[in-house]
Every structure is written in structure tokens, then in C-alpha cells.
Amino acid sequence: MYKDRIQAGHALADLLARYEGQNAVVLAIPRGGVEVAFPIATRLRAPLDLVIPRKLPVPSNSETGFGAITADGSKVLNDDLISYIGLTNVEIDKIAEGVLEEVKRREKRYRGDKPFPDLTARIAIIVDDGLATGYTALAAIDYVRKRQPKKVIMAVPVASKDAEMLVKSQVDEYICPLTSNRPWFAVASFYGRFSDLTDEEVLNCMKKYELVVEGW
């Protein structure tokens, strides 16, 4: 159990300390991943940036995702779940279109005109506050891989066993201190405080990090 996302970030920072000075970039998945990534980037003295995938929600249950999409329109899909609930390609495309609009809105809101960082020959550390199904993480990994980093690391404070099995094989290094076999897994249940972050809180966290960098 973590007190909050910041404490979870410090726990991961301890496990990632060896990457200080190794040309790493910390890429947070917003919104919740930003608070976890802040202590990591601070500890590593590494740039903090964002990678913005978004869950594709099941129509009958928005909390459950059948995949995820990134800003370039690339999708990662849970084919077994799609088959089970009977989603058609037309339905998938319609849902994806709506979610992509939100991804692009967040890209514009959070990044403005700032381009995605050049990852060529760098170590990309992708951070989120937890993995439930793992498909959002897979979409982020796919997006990052296209930018040809030297190494891709996935770092999360907690994950379901199923998500871990899905994600671990897709990265060069996987760091997660706590894995759960609970049949009903919820990331929030592993935190004492786990409120939803707003766009403003994400931006404030990024601005706070800029001040930290200026102080080095």
C-alpha cells in the first residue's frame, strides 16, 4: 500500500537510481502517472515529458477498456475481449475516433507547440501509477518504440499479474515492486490517497518540475 502517488514515485526512483547520468528521458502517462514520474525525474536529473495513450472503453462499462490509442492514431486491441463482447469494426472505429479527439486535446493542452522529445539512442522510462489491463501501457510502449530509443523501461508501482505478463515481454526492462493476483484488481485500492488529477494539476506538476531543473 502506498500513501500516495508521490511516495510511490520515490519507491520507483530508488530502483531506477542507476540511470542517473545515463541519458534517460522520463515519460509519464497522464494524468496519474505524472505525479509518480516527478520524483523519478528529479532523482535521475532527467527530462520529464509525457506520452499520451488513452483507453478505448467498452460501451457497456466505461471503466473497462478493450484496448488503447495514441496520438498518431495507432491502436492496441484486446482481441479476445472484443470477440467476447461482440464489437464490430465499425463500433471500434467510432469509439476510437472519439477517444482520439480527447488524446489530441490533451496533447495540445499539455504540450502546446512543444514537440515530442527526440528519443534516438536514449533510455526511455515510461511511468504510470499502475497497470490494470496493461493495454494503455502497450500503446505507450508502441508509440515510444517508433522513436528508436536505445532502451525502453516500464516502471509502475503496482500491476495486476495479467497486465504484468502482457507488458513485461514488450520492454527491455520492467520495474514493478508490487504485483497482485486479486481477481478484482483496481489500482486505486493500493493507494491511501488516489484522487483523479485535473488538466491543471498535470500542468502545475510539469511547471514545478521546470523550476526544479532551473535550480540545478
Kindly report, residue by residue over 85-124, the tens digit of the pLDDT: 999 999 999 999 999 999 999 999 999 989 999 999 999 9
For the chain, what are the domain ranges?
Answer: 5-52+120-214, 55-110
| Domain 55-110 CATH assignment equals 3.30.1310 | yes
Q: What is the pLDDT of residues 152-194, one digit of tens each?
A: 999 999 999 999 999 999 999 999 999 998 888 999 999 999 9
Q: Provide the pLDDT for residue 64.
A: 85
- Grade residue 11 by pLDDT with cuts at 50, 70 and 90: very high
Residue 21 above 90 pLDDT? Answer: yes
Q: What is the mean pLDDT of residues 122-150?
A: 97
Tell me what pLDDT residue 216 has. Answer: 75
The residue-averaged pLDDT of 136-157 equals 97
Predicted structure pTM score: 0.95
Confidence at residue 122, expressed as pLDDT on a 0 to 100 scale = 97
- % of the chain residues with pLDDT over 70: 100
Among 3.30.9.90, 3.30.70.141, 3.40.50.2020, 3.30.70.1350, what is the CATH number of 5-52+120-214? 3.40.50.2020
Q: Cell 493495454 belongs to which residue? A: 135
Distance CA 151, CA 61 (A): 35
Q: What percent of the chain has pLDDT over 90?
A: 90
